Amino acid sequence: MPQDHSPNEADHFGEIYRRVSRRVFATLVRLIRDFDLAEEMLHEAFTIALQRWPIDGVPANPYSWLVSTARHKAIDAIRRRSRFTEAQPELLARLQAVTEENQALAQSDIEDDRLRLIFTCCHPAIDPKVQVPLTLREVCGLTTEEIAAAFLVSPPTMAQRIVRGKAKIRDAGIPYVIPSLTDLPERLDSVLAVIYLVFNEGYSSSAGDTVARRDLSAEAIRLARLLLELLPDAEAMGLLALMLLHESRCSARTTPDGDIVLLEDQDRSRWDRELIDEGKQLVEQAMATRRIGSYTIQAAISAVHSDAATATETDWSQIVALYDILVRAEPSPVVELNRAVAVAMRDGPESGLQLIDAILQRGELADYYLAHSARGELLRRLKRHDDARAAFEQSIALTRQEPERRFLSCKIKELEST
């Protein structure tokens, strides 16, 4: 019989789900070796929790409780399937493997299951175009639509890639393990890309009612720290530094009502100096190795922003110089867009607008709302109000995040008032 839950209970249950569901899933994938069955058992465990926790109370360790419950349910499901399929050897072997794991797991074993699953999804046997989307879907729980938006492709195309990736893991028997130190470097680039995309989705959600999803950004930072322990690589340092420096501004990025506050308007006294200091130290360590990659360069750019006590004191010349290096190290239209904004701050809005128009004319960022919002802001500063309004309206049509829509709508109202 369904249970009635108070708003506080529902909020608490929802918070637990957001915090641990994908970690539970990663552990189940390792134990069960079946993405679809793991997903099914994850939801069954949460359904049982929804029924029992209001009566029995929330366990001291919800994570372990959910893993144990889902694992028992998986064993029952595999046994039923074994009987219906005349005890196929593959199913029996999987049942035996799960049964052997059916004891209390040490916390350290559970903690790195998501990292194991990331390395599985980034195995060299899997198409590089599939590795990152597959990880974002299976490890982080992002929807296919969210991932498609991040990669600027259609949801059906992205869904096909994810299905291909899961099939490859199953058919090739790819193990759910962290590779040896000798194999780690060749898998590192994909893993770093995944962690960074997870952070980006947490730092600036691609859709929804809030600017940020702190659970995702915190998880990305946790995984980056764990990865850095496994492999003290310069780019791993650079990525962790970049995320820490961005995260340091989180409390200043929105108003109490959840509206966006631009970097230039933020109260910098609210920036987290501990995160900034740690991030800058990591940048220096990464630079000292002389193996400087794109994450380290981006972290250096963020460090320049962190050094400015006020927006007007920002060293835009240094930032443009760093973007010049980044464009050569990792050419992409998004990096070019960011450089164009920096050029506008250094040389004036007309210079930046010419660069953004050239990027849009190539068609590469035609569906990227930030390109149009940046263009609209430069047009506004040039007092080309009609053109600015059109650019802001185009950006609104492309964004799926409600705070961005409100922010852009306010920009349009300001134009109308002038």
Residue 61 lies in a domain: yes
Q: What is the pLDDT of residue 109?
A: 43
Residue 292 lies in a domain: no
Q: Where a domain ends, among 44, 71, 104?
A: 104
92 in the same domain as 148: no
198 in the same domain as 99: no
Cβ-based neighbours of 192, under 8 Å, separated by 6 or more = 227, 235, 236, 239, 295
Q: Quick one: what percent of the chain has pLDDT higher than 90? A: 41
Q: Report residue 126 CA to chain centroid gap.
A: 20
Residue 257 lies in a domain: no
94 in the same domain as 12: yes
For residue 291, what pLDDT band results from cuts at 50, 70 and 90? confident
Q: What is the pLDDT of residue 103?
A: 41
| Arithmetic mean of pLDDT, 259-276 | 94
Question: If you average pLDDT over each of 4-13, 99-108, 132-141, 304-313, which comes out highest?
Answer: 304-313
pTM: 0.74
Residue 319 lies in a domain: no
CATH number of residue 30's parent domain = 1.10.1740
149 in the same domain as 67: no
CATH number of residue 342's parent domain = 1.25.40.10
| Arithmetic mean of pLDDT, 224-247 | 91
- Number of structural domains the chain divides into: 3
Domain span holding position 197: 111-174+184-205+220-225
Q: What is the pLDDT of residue 10?
A: 67
Q: What is the pLDDT of residue 83?
A: 55
155 in the same domain as 82: no
pLDDT exceeds 90 at position 214:
no
Q: Quick one: what percent of the chain has pLDDT higher than 70? A: 88
47 in the same domain as 26: yes
85 in the same domain as 14: yes
For residue 361, what pLDDT band results from cuts at 50, 70 and 90? very high
Q: What is the pLDDT of residue 79?
A: 76
Q: What is the pLDDT of residue 203?
A: 83
69 in the same domain as 136: no
The CA distance from 116 to 149, in Å, is 26
Residue 121 lies in a domain: yes
88 in the same domain as 5: yes
Residue 141 lies in a domain: yes
Q: Where a domain ends, among 57, 74, 104?
A: 104
| Arithmetic mean of pLDDT, 53-72 | 88
Please give the residue that has the higher pLDDT: either 90 or 53: 53
Residue 211 lies in a domain: no
Q: Where a domain ends, among 63, 89, 104?
A: 104
Cβ-based neighbours of 281, under 8 Å, separated by 6 or more = 241
Please give the residue that has the higher pLDDT: either 36 or 108: 36
Here the tokens at position 390 are 């059109």
Q: What is the pLDDT of residue 308?
A: 95
Query: What letter represents residue 397's amino acid?
Result: A
127 in the same domain as 89: no
Q: What is the pLDDT of residue 112?
A: 67
Q: What is the pLDDT of residue 285?
A: 95
Q: What is the pLDDT of residue 410?
A: 92
115 in the same domain as 86: no
Residue 170 lies in a domain: yes
Q: What is the 3-state secondary structure (H, E, C) of the chain?
A: CCCCCCHHHHHHHHHHHHHHHHHHHHHHHHHHCCHHHHHHHHHHHHHHHHHHHHHHCCCCCHHHHHHHHHHHHHHHHHHHHHHHCCCCHHHHHHHHHHHHCCCCCCHHHHHCHHHHHHHHHCCCCCCHHHHHHHHHHHCCCCCHHHHHHHHCCCHHHHHHHHHHHHHHHHHHCCCCCCCCCCCHHHHHHHHHHHHHHHHHHHHCCCEECCCCCHHHHHHHHHHHHHHHHHCCCHHHHHHHHHHHHHHCCHHHCECCCCCECCHHHCCHHHCCHHHHHHHHHHHHHHHHCCCCCHHHHHHHHHHHHHHCCCHHHCCHHHHHHHHHHHHHHCCCHHHHHHHHHHHHHHHCHHHHHHHHHHHHHCCCCCCCHHHHHHHHHHHHHCCCHHHHHHHHHHHHHHCEEHHHHHHHHHHHHHHHHC
Q: What is the pLDDT of residue 295?
A: 96
Q: Which of 115-119, 138-142, 175-179, 389-393 has the lowest mean pLDDT?
A: 175-179
80 in the same domain as 120: no
